[in-house]
Structure 1
Amino acid sequence: MTDDRTTGTDPGEVTLGRIETEVALLMRFGEATRRGTGTMEHRLLDRAAYVILRHLADAGPQNVSALAATLNLDGSTVTRQLSAMQRDGLIARAPDPTDGRGTVVSPTAAGLQRMAAVQAARTRLYGDILATWSPDDRDTLAQLLHRLNQALQSRPRPR
């Protein structure tokens, strides 16, 4: 490793570069771990359906535009994902009581059941992966990941 003082590299930039690398690796290893896990529960939902169902379970029924804004996705992308989820019986649509032209999306019992199975499998997996970590380290990781996700979510989207 080089000494940042002799290369003229800003230590803050070095740290940001390390963060960028670690986040890229986290996404890569997370997906590889999900695909490489032998249990069926991990494959009950694709990543998009899982995230949508988790959000709907926490926030309640949403219209497509609110869901897209919350997940920082384009409305047409969310609409396509929801159409596939509706075909699979994971979500239901109902008229939006505040806007007669729109619809509100909510999880079905089957969708919630699949989501819960995936969540339980992932929780067990991370329990195994982090088994040697102290409870304080696990808590710190959870807090920092939450802060990172909040910062990513609140970042303005380019138009």
Structure 2
Amino acid sequence: MTDDHTSGPLPDEITLGRIETEVALLMRFGEATRRATGTAEHRVLDRAAYVILRHLDTAGPQNVSALAATLNLDGSTVTRQVSAMQRDGLIARTPDPADGRGTVISPTAAGLQRMAAVQAARTRLYGEILAAWDEGDRDTLAELLRRLNEALNSRNRSRSTR
């Protein structure tokens, strides 16, 4: 969009366009890096299982509905993922103390061990990638990514309640 006094994009539009490009590249290069990384540690869990286990490790046991809402996913998608994870021994289902008809999902020791291996491998990888960055720049990047994820999550939550 332009205004009547300029012949090109407004500065904010240019910046937002740069952000869009960089986020698209981040997703592409992140996936390419994940696939190209030779260590088995990166592949002991698929992305969905890793995200679910990370969340359960932080938030504690949850039912599928709460997990789906938190991860902004359809309940049937989470149910399929959780079923596969249960078959692989990564999570356990136990009766929901708040609702005896339901179950809660919690990580098993094996699930947490695999999650920790992937997390450690990813942390080492980012340490290598960002080795030339000073600590302040790494800290700024971490904070800005946290804020971006928070804003994305907030937007997704507000749209799903409409």
TM superposition score normalised by structure 2: 0.92
Q: Deviations over 1:48-104 (max 9, x none)?
A: 100000000001001111111111111111111111111110000011111122110
- Describe the SS at the equivalent of 2:101: strand
Question: 5 Å matches for 1:42-81?
Answer: 42-81=42-81
> Aligned-pair distance for 1:153?
1.1
> Aligned-pair distance for 1:7?
3.3
Equivalent-residue separation in structure 2 for 1:17 and 1:101 (angstroms): 49
Alpha-carbon RMSD across the aligned residues, in angstroms, is 1.2
Match of 1:110 in 2: 110
Aligned amino acid, residue 120 of structure 1: A
Moved more, 7-16 or 104-113: 7-16
Match of 2:154 in 1: 154
Is structure 2 residue 103 aligned with structure 1 residue 96? no
- Describe the SS at the equivalent of 1:133: coil
Count of residues paired in the alignment: 155
> Aligned-pair distance for 1:135?
0.1
Aligned amino acid, residue 55 of structure 1: H
> Aligned-pair distance for 1:6?
5.2
Contact 1:72–1:157, Cα closer than 8 Å, also in 2: no
Moved more, 132-141 or 93-102: 93-102
> Aligned-pair distance for 1:13?
1.5
Equivalent-residue separation in structure 2 for 1:101 and 1:14 (angstroms): 53
Structure 1's unaligned 5+ residue stretches are: none
> Aligned-pair distance for 1:132?
0.1
Match of 2:35 in 1: 35
Match of 1:11 in 2: 11
Structure 2's unaligned 5+ residue stretches are: none
Q: Percent identity?
A: 83
